Amino acid sequence: MKRRSFFTGAALLPGAAAQAQSRVAPKKKYRAGVIGLGWTGLLYDLAQRTDEKFNVDDINRPTPPLDMQRRVHFHNHPGEEGLPQSYSVALDARPDVELVAGAERDPKRLAAFGERFGLKALYTDAIEMMRKERLDIVAVCTNTKGRSFLTVKAAELGAKGIVAEKPMCHTLAEADAMVKACADRKVPLSAGAISTTHPSFGRAKQLVRDGVIGELISIESGVQGSQHQNWAYFVDGKIAWVSGAGGQGMAVTSEGLAIHFRRGAPGVRLSGSKGEIIFDRPTWKLNVQLDTPAGRQSVVSPWPDPQFVEPYHSVYTIDDVVACMDGRMDEPKNSGRRVAMAIEVEIALRESSQRGGDKVNLPLADRSLGLTYDWFR
C-alpha cells in the first residue's frame, strides 16, 4: 500500500520517502501562531479527552496528565486521513508553515506548548503575540466567548489567513464583525474543523456544478445545531426567509432554492432533476436517473474519490485557508461567511417557531440575537 502524506495530497511511492528526506528542506512560506491551548489548540494530541467542565474565565483550568512524547498515528486512507487533531500539531506538521508562537492564559498549558515544539515565543497576551510575531496564519482556539474579538484583531494586525474553531461565535453582531473584518482585508477565514472541510465535499460540489444530478432542486439536512452545517456549502445565494417549528423547518434563498431541516435527515441530501447526492455520514452516495429499456430508472453510481473517511480534524480547515492564501481556492469550504449564514438561519428558525411558524424574513434586524453553546474545549 502506498504511504501518504496528509498535507500534500500526494502518494509516496516506495523509496520516495528516503529520497525526499535527502533533499534540503524548503523554506517555510508562512509563520503561524495559536491562540488558546485547550483541547483543539493543543491537548487533543497530548492527552486523553476528558469532559471536566470549568468556568470559562478561570485561568487555572483543569488539565489532564500530558504525554509530551505522544505522536499521531498515521493511517493509509484514500482521503489522506490519520491526522493530528489539534491546530498546533497540524500547523507544525505542514512543510509550508512554521509554527512560531502560542498564546494562553494558563501557564501550565503554555509551558507544555513550548516544551512540545521547542518554542520560546510564549505569550499570555494574544494581542501582544500578534503584534510582535508578524503572523501570517492565526488559529483562534479559545472558548467561543473570545473568538469574534480575537479574529477581528488578527485581521487588523496583518494575518493573511485565519482558522477559528467552532462554534464560531455567539451573536449575529459577532459574526458580522468577523466576516467584515476578514472580507475588507481579503483574509480567508475558515470557521471550524467540521466534516464540510473534508475534500469529499469539494468533490460533491463539483458534481453538482458539472450537472451530474441535473438542476439542483432542493437541499435537505438534519436539524441545525452547534454550527456544524453541511448544507451551507452548497448554497450560493442568500437566504430570503425561513419558517420553522421546534428546530425543524425550511429556508428559501432569493433564487427560490429550498433547504429543508428535518430530524432524522442525513448530513445533507442534494436533490436534482436527474438524481441526488447524499452524505449519510460517513458515506457519500450518488444516484442518477438513466433511460433504460424498462423506462427511466434511478441507478446507484460509484462515488468518485475521495470518499469521506474519519478522522478529519483540523488538517483540512487549515488546508483550505492555505489554499486561499496560495490562490488555489476562492473561499474556504466552511468559511466564516457560510457559518454566519447558518447561524442566522438557526436563530431565524427559533424566532419563527416562537411566532407559531410564521415566515421570518432575513436579514434579521436585531443583530444582538444569538445562540449559547455549553462547550468547554
- Residues 210, 128 within the same domain: no
DSSP states along 302-359: PPPSPPP-S--TTHHHHHHHHHHHTTS-SS-TTBHHHHHHHHHHHHHHHHHHHTTS--
Say yes or no: 28 and 173 in one domain: yes
Residues 244 and 108 in one domain: no
Asked if 114 and 130 sit in the same domain, the reply is: yes
Residue 35 domain-assigned?
yes
178 inside domain? yes
Report the alpha-carbon angle 284-287-292, nearest 5. 155
* Dihedral angle over CA of 132, 138, 143, 145, nearest 10: 80
Same domain, 320 and 273: no
**In a shared domain, residues 155 and 209:** no
* Angstrom distance (rounded) from CA 233 to CA 320: 13
Query: Full-prediction pTM beyond 0.85?
Result: yes
Residue 82 is assigned to a structural domain of this protein: yes
Residue 377 located in a structural domain: no
In this structure, are 13 and 60 located in the same domain? yes
Residue 357, pLDDT score: 94
Q: Which residues, 6+ apart, have CB-to-CB distance to 69 below 8 Å?
A: none
What CATH number does residue 299 fall under? 3.30.360.10
How is residue 59 annotated by DSSP?
S
Taking only the tens of pLDDT, the chain with its 377 residues reads 333 333 333 332 233 333 333 345 567 799 999 999 998 999 988 888 777 776 666 667 778 888 777 766 554 433 444 578 899 999 998 999 999 999 999 999 999 999 999 999 999 999 999 999 999 999 999 989 899 999 999 999 999 999 999 999 999 999 999 999 999 999 999 998 999 999 999 999 999 999 999 999 999 999 877 688 999 999 999 999 999 998 899 999 999 999 999 999 999 999 999 999 999 988 999 999 887 787 778 888 999 989 998 777 789 999 999 999 999 999 999 999 999 999 999 999 999 999 999 999 999 999 999 988 765 44
Full residue range of the structural domain in which residue 218 is found: 199-305+338-361
Number of separate domains in the chain: 2
Q: Are residues 191 and 206 in the same domain?
A: no
Q: Distance between CA atoms of 365 and 249, rounded to whole angstroms?
A: 21
Answer yes or no: do 325 and 357 share one domain: no
